[in-house]
Amino acid sequence: MKRLKKHLSLALLFSLVSVAAAVRVAAADKDPQSVQVTIGTILVSNQSDEFDAKLKGMEKQLRVLKYRSYRLLKDESQNVPWRGNKSFEIPGGRSLTVAPQEFQNNRIALKVRLTERNKPLLDTTVTVPNKGNFLYLGGPPHEGGTLVLSISAAVQ
C-alpha cells in the first residue's frame, strides 16, 4: 500500500506539472487571437523594364509571371479576427475580403473574395503557411497593365 501511495504521489506531482505545461502550450498554439493579413497590390506590365526595389523580397516568385515591369502600388496589413472578415481596397473599384477560418498544422485557412463594383469576381478558399510563402492572385486589368495581389497571413 505504501509503495502504491509512493507511485501515485509521484505520478500525481508530475502529471500536474505536465498538464499545466500542456495547457500553456495548447493555449499558445491552438487559440491565436487574430490573423494579420497582408495584401500587396502590384502592377505588372510589359510597357517598361523596371523592378520596384520594394518588391525585392518576392522577386523570384514574381519573375515566374514573366512580365517586364513590376511596381508596388500599395501594401496593407490588417488584423482580422477569427471567423470575422476585413476588406482591402484594390484599385479600379475593387475590393478583396479576407476571412480566416482555421489554423492547423501551422497553416491558415482563408476565405477570399474579390469583388469589382460590388460584383463578385472570384471566391476561393486557400491555406497559406503561417508567416510563410505568399499566394498570388492576378488578372484584373489596370492602367495598361495587370494587377497582381500578394496574400500572406500570420497568426497573432
Partner 1 sequence: MALSDSELVQKCQAGEMTAFQELASRYHQKVYMVILGLLRNREDALEVSQETFFRAFRKIGGFQGGSSFYTWIYRIAVNLAIDAQRRQKRNPLEFRESMDGLLESQDEVARDPFVDVHDRELRENLIKAINDLTPEHKAVIVLRTIEGLSYKDIGEILGCSEGTVMSRLHYARKKLHDKLSAFL
Partner 2 sequence: MNECERIQESIGPWLDGELNSAECERVRTHVGSCPACLAAQQKIEKIDLALRSDLVAQAAKLEFAPFWRALERRISEPRPWYQEWRDRLVSAPRSAWAVPALIALLLAVWSFDSYFPGWRGGVAARSGFAAVDSIDAHGRSVALWRENETKTTVIWLYEEQEGEHETAEEAPKSGPAF
Chain residues binding partner 2 by CB under 8 A are 3, 6-7, 9-11, 13-15, 18-19, 21-22, 25-26, 28-29, 44, 46, 60-61, 64-67, 105-107, 109, 114, 120-130, 132-141, 146, 151
Least spacing, CB of residue 7 vs partner 1, in Å: 10
Residue 134: partners with Cβ closer than 8 Å, 6 or more residues away:
40, 58, 61, 128, 150, 151, 152
CB under 5 to 8 A by kind: which of partner 2, partner 1, none does 2 bind? Answer: partner 1
Cβ distance to partner 1 smaller for residue 5 or 83:
5
CB under 5 to 8 A by kind: which of partner 2, partner 1, none does 1 bind? Answer: partner 1
Cβ distance to partner 1 smaller for residue 9 or 125:
9
Return the half-sphere exposure (C-beta side, CA atoms, 13 A cut-off) of residue 47. 10
Cβ distance to partner 1 smaller for residue 1 or 28:
1
Cβ distance to partner 1 smaller for residue 3 or 56:
3
The DSSP bridge pattern shows strands 69-81 and 34-45 to be: antiparallel
Q: Is residue 18 helix, strand or coil?
A: helix
Contacts by residues 103-112 (CB-CB < 8 Å, ≥ 24 positions apart): 103/30, 103/32, 103/35, 103/130, 103/155, 106/130, 108/35, 108/153, 108/155, 110/35, 110/37, 110/151, 110/153, 111/85, 112/137, 112/151
Least spacing, CB of residue 18 vs partner 1, in Å: 22
CB under 5 to 8 A by kind: which of partner 2, partner 1, none does 61 bind? Answer: partner 2
Residues that bind partner 1 (CB under 8 A): 1-3, 6
Q: Which residue has the cell 471566391?
A: 123
Taking Cα atoms as reference points, which of 22, 20, 52, 29 lies closest to residue 103?
A: 29
Least spacing, CB of residue 11 vs partner 1, in Å: 15
